[in-house]
Structure 1
Amino acid sequence: MLNFYQHTTCSSCRKGRQWLENNTMEYQVIDMIAQPPSKKQLMEWMAASNLPISRFFNTSGNRYRELNLKDTLPEMTAEEAAELLSTDGMLIKRPLVSNGEKITLGFNEDVFEKEWLK
């Protein structure tokens, strides 16, 4: 089963949920604002994904701009980034989907097909 981390008003999350339903995928919804992933979980995802740390951040969000992360993110370690992300779900790229082994960030139909229809 997939864990689908979302923000309830996010249009990308709605598109992602719709795609999962259209493809009869089993998933559980987790409100990433009320229950952001833990620092430990984020560290594991960062290590397993081989994605740049910046991909985990919602770079178009207000919180990202308020904290001026564009300038400080390049200097952050994975541990520092995971600590920050674990304290504020609004900073995390969404939807975040994981099956425990792999992860996708954001909604892209081609990526969802490649990763979740196997």
Structure 2
Amino acid sequence: MDFEIRHIIKETPTKEEFLAWQGIAGVDKKKFVNTNGKRYKDLGLKETIDSMSDAELFGLLENDGMLVKRPILVGDDFVLIGFKKAEWETREW
């Protein structure tokens, strides 16, 4: 399998990439956010994230890779966000 490794802090995905991945994954925008991170807490996102549009949140993420939940594995027809062992093990490669 061919793959590309991206350092998500140095090569943060764009807002457009996040929006496309969200469409493929069919998940809420919050799934892409590192809610356990210091930046999330420092910015008080817990209180404001629900009132943000998808585009607004992804615009914030594209400017601060520390807010992004990792890892993100993107395939042609799937997106896995964060490491959930069972999800990764049952994936047909």
**When the two structures are superposed, what TM-score results if normalisation uses the length of structure 1?**
0.73
**In angstroms, what is the RMSD of aligned CA positions?**
1.3
Structure-2 separation of matches of 1:64 and 1:91: 6
Q: Which runs of 4+ in 1 moved over 2 A?
A: none
Letter in 2 for 1:83: G
Any stretches of 5+ residues in structure 1 without a counterpart?
2-25
| SS of 1:31 mapped into structure 2 | coil
Identity %: 31
2:60 alignment partner in structure 1: 84
How far 1:44 moved relative to its partner? Answer: 0.7
How far 1:27 moved relative to its partner? Answer: 2.9
1:96 alignment partner in structure 2: 72
**When the two structures are superposed, what TM-score results if normalisation uses the length of structure 2?**
0.91
How far 1:53 moved relative to its partner? Answer: 1.0
> Could you tell me which of 23, 45, 56 is aligned with 2:32?
56
| SS of 1:30 mapped into structure 2 | coil
Any stretches of 5+ residues in structure 2 without a counterpart?
none
Number of aligned residues: 93
